[in-house]
């Protein structure tokens, strides 16, 4: 469908790139959604991104087998908080029995959307017939999606796709199978399973998916900056964006994208003080949610993402990667702040007070 044909009147569509976007029953002020990221999208990550402009987020991807068993760790993942709304959940699976059991478990939860993952390219997932493996069998994907749509306690059901297994030739056809099943929106990553996260995003293929279906198409892949976000809109005509790796260590990306789309100007980048403050807040939430030992382990990778690109940062990052206590992490956040504050940034002195 051409970008000028009727999107204003259709739920889930956007009138302009900078306009409101309706996702289920939720009105978003910008067409931006935070992606579910395995091992990343816990409450602290979602909360810090919400502070800087994210309005809709997803839990981490959850296997329907694990959810149907109801283990303590899995149920902790689906725990909801009043300040963490609106919130969607993403499930992964291929066995109808466990999908139905998982959906039954979710009857006690008030998620705003339920997404089915048919995009994960990791070997351990596709080896079990899940994730991107379903792209090889669109009729099976269609049946699973119909099962979910018919039995989900969450009315707004979506699907996450890739362009195909090793070619994008059938991307539009796969999307039509998904739409036929009754999903309300389609997330599409602009790479094939074979590409994983390498190579370039195929904007043309996403545009063909957009033309092939009537439901909203939410594009992802290399939304790493405001400029790339606008390029995705311009090249594909998509209805919204799913921000994934671009938000790692950069919760400001939502503000930056919105500013650029609305004004054409770049937002002020975060200062070293901004980054240090965000790190400290993020880390404190990790410790509060997961206790000290797990919180430290979970946060170390975030420290590396927050500090990427700073000159002479390697020794400091090495110390963080080996840290085991909260005091160590706090110390290295302070070292970063003191070293890269405006009065010292760019100093030739590369010896950190470690």
pLDDT tens, residue by residue, 238-291: 999 999 999 999 999 999 999 999 999 999 999 999 999 999 999 999 999 999
Cα separation, 67 vs 101, whole angstroms = 8
- For residue 124, what are the CA distances in angstroms to 131, 179, 252, 275? 10, 27, 33, 35
CB atoms within 10 A of CB 187: 30
DSSP code of residue 165: S
Mean of pLDDT values over 190-201: 94
The pLDDT of residue 272 is 95
pLDDT tens, residue by residue, 20-61: 899 999 999 999 999 999 999 999 999 999 999 999 999 999
Query: Which class in CATH covers the domain with range 272-340?
Result: mainly alpha
**Cis, bond preceding 58 (omega within 30 deg of 0):** no
The pLDDT of residue 6 is 32
Residues of the chain with pLDDT > 70, as a percent, come to 92
pLDDT tens, residue by residue, 56-89: 999 999 999 999 999 888 998 998 999 999 999 9
**Range(s) within the chain of domains with CATH label 1.10.1200.80:** 272-340
pLDDT greater at residue 180 or residue 353: 180
Local confidence band at 327 (pLDDT 50, 70, 90 cut-offs): very high
Residue 159: in which H helix or E strand, if any?
A: strand 157-162
The pLDDT of residue 188 is 98
Whether pLDDT at 11 is above 90: no
Local confidence band at 347 (pLDDT 50, 70, 90 cut-offs): very low
**If phi over 0 gives left and psi between -120 and 50 gives alpha, with beta otherwise, what is residue 237?**
left
Cα separation, 328 vs 283, whole angstroms = 12
Nearest to 145 by CA among 221, 215, 57, 241: 215
User: 159 phi and psi, to 5 degrees?
Assistant: -135, 145
The pLDDT of residue 353 is 53
| Ranges 13-17, 165-169, 175-179: which has the least confidence | 13-17
Angle at 253 between CA 17 and CA 241, to 5 degrees: 40
Whether pLDDT at 4 is above 90: no
The pLDDT of residue 328 is 98
CATH architecture of the domain formed by 7-263: Alpha-Beta Barrel (3.20)
CB atoms within 10 A of CB 38: 14
Cα separation, 275 vs 278, whole angstroms = 5
Q: What share of the chain is helix, strand, coil (3-state, %, to 5)?
A: 45, 15, 40
DSSP string, 81-141: -TTS-SEEEEEE---HHHHHHHHHHGGG---SEEEEEE----HHHHTTT-GGGGGG-HHHH
Q: Which pTM was predicted?
A: 0.90
The pLDDT of residue 71 is 86
Local confidence band at 342 (pLDDT 50, 70, 90 cut-offs): confident
Mean pLDDT of all residues belonging to the chain: 91
Report, as residue numbers or ranges, the catalytic residues. Answer: 120
Cα separation, 199 vs 285, whole angstroms = 35
């Amino acid at each position: 469908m051409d970008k000028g044909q009727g999107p204003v009147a259709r739920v889930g569509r956007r009138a302009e790139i900078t306009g409101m976007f309706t996702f289920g029953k939720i009105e978003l002020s910008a067409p931006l959604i935070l992606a579910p990221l395995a091992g990343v999208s816990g409450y602290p990550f979602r909360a810090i991104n919400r502070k800087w402009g994210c309005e809709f987020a997803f839990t981490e991807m959850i296997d329907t087998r694990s959810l149907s068993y109801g283990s303590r760790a899995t149920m902790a993942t689906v725990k909801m908080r009043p300040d963490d709304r609106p919130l969607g959940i993403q499930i992964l699976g291929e066995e109808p029995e466990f999908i139905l059991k998982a959906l039954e478990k979710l009857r006690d939860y008030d998620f705003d959307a339920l997404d089915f993952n048919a995009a994960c390219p990791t070997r351990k997932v596709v080896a079990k017939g899940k994730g991107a493996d379903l792209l090889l069998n669109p009729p099976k994907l269609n049946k699973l999606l119909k099962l979910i749509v018919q039995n989900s306690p969450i009315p707004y059901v979506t699907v996450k796709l890739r362009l195909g297994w090793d070619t994008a030739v059938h991307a539009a056809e796969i999307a039509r199978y998904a739409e036929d099943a009754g999903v309300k929106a389609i997330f599409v990553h602009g790479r094939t399973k074979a590409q994983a996260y390498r190579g370039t995003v195929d904007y043309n293929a996403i545009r063909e998916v957009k033309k092939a279906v009537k439901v909203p198409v939410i594009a992802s892949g290399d939304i790493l900056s405001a400029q790339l976000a606008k390029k995705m809109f311009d090249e594909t005509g998509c209805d919204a964006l799913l921000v994934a790796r671009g938000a790692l260590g950069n919760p400001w990306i939502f503000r930056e994208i919105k500013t650029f789309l609305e004004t054409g100007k770049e937002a002020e980048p975060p200062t070293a003080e901004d980054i240090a403050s965000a790190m400290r807040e993020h880390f404190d939430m990790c410790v509060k949610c997961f206790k000290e030992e797990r919180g430290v382990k979970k946060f170390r990778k975030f420290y590396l993402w927050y500090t990427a690109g700073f000159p002479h940062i390697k020794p400091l990052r090495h110390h963080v990667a080996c840290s085991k206590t909260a005091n160590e992490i706090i110390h290295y956040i302070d070292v970063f702040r003191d070293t890269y504050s405006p009065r010292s940034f760019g100093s030739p002195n590369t010896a950190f007070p470690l």
